Amino acid sequence: MNIILVGFMGTGKTVAGKRLAKRLKMEFIDLDDRIEEKEGRTISRIFKEDGEAYFRRIEKEAVKGIMVIKDSVVATGGGVVMDDENMVNLKKIGTVISLVASPDVILKRTSLETHRPLLNNAEPKKRIEELLKCREPFYKKADYSIDTSYLSIDEVVEEILKKLKLDV
Ligand code: S3P
């Protein structure tokens, strides 16, 4: 079985995913890392040099590339859910869990980092709110949802285990 984490930037997919994988002795896969490895450049550079549409195309290929995985925890990029085929494919290989957080918490968690091209913006809070509003219906398609705003990483892991009825 695979566990797929989706959700907006800064909701904790990568950190919680890594810890969950360790706890369950499963493989951890970060979809953005796979894209960067394949392209030999960072996500920021991909956006800058070839634009978002190109990134979405290779992101879709990256989803297709993980259709064969087993016993893995996957952290996806925040926008992967906007493509219906991606969501269908992700649901085929595992249980999809959406991590959510409030705009203020997302702003706080992402403000110290510069590697997210979509938030490198003069008004990041406004941008976060706009993007969240348009993506909300897509994140809702996940099998389960967990609000990580006021949870520690270990608590997020516990919540995921509870949802999946995994007793470890
Ligand atoms: C994106 C989120 C990023 C990365 C890219 C686009 C998005 O991943 O895939 O910058 O559209 O929300 P994280 O959610 O891991 O930051």
- Answer whether residue 121 shows pLDDT above 90: no
- Tell which one of 5, 8, 9 to mutate to probe ligand 1, the residue whose CB is within 8 A of the most ligand atoms: 9
Ligand 1 within 6 A of 43 CB?
A: yes
- Tell which one of 29, 86, 116 to mutate to probe ligand 1, the residue whose CB is within 8 A of the most ligand atoms: 116
Please compute the mean of the pLDDT values over residues 1-15 and round it to a whole number.
97
Q: Whose CA is nearest to atom 16 of ligand 1?
A: 9
- Answer whether residue 168 shows pLDDT above 80: no
Average pLDDT, the chain: 96
As a whole number of angstroms, the distance between CA 123 and CA 83 comes to 26
- Answer whether residue 114 shows pLDDT above 90: no
The reported pTM is 0.97
Give every CB contact of residue 112 below 8 A, 6+ residues apart in sequence. none
Helix, coil or strand: residue 3: strand
As a whole number of angstroms, the distance between CA 97 and CA 13 comes to 10
CA of 5 to the centre of ligand 1 (A): 13
Ligand 1 within 6 A of 79 CB?
A: yes
Two tokens, residue 166: 């995994």
pLDDT of residue 110: 94
pLDDT digit string, tens, across residues 36-82: 999 999 999 999 999 999 999 999 999 999 999 999 999 999 999 99
Ligand 1 within 6 A of 17 CB?
A: no
Ligand 1 within 6 A of 30 CB?
A: no
Residue with tokens 């930037």: 9
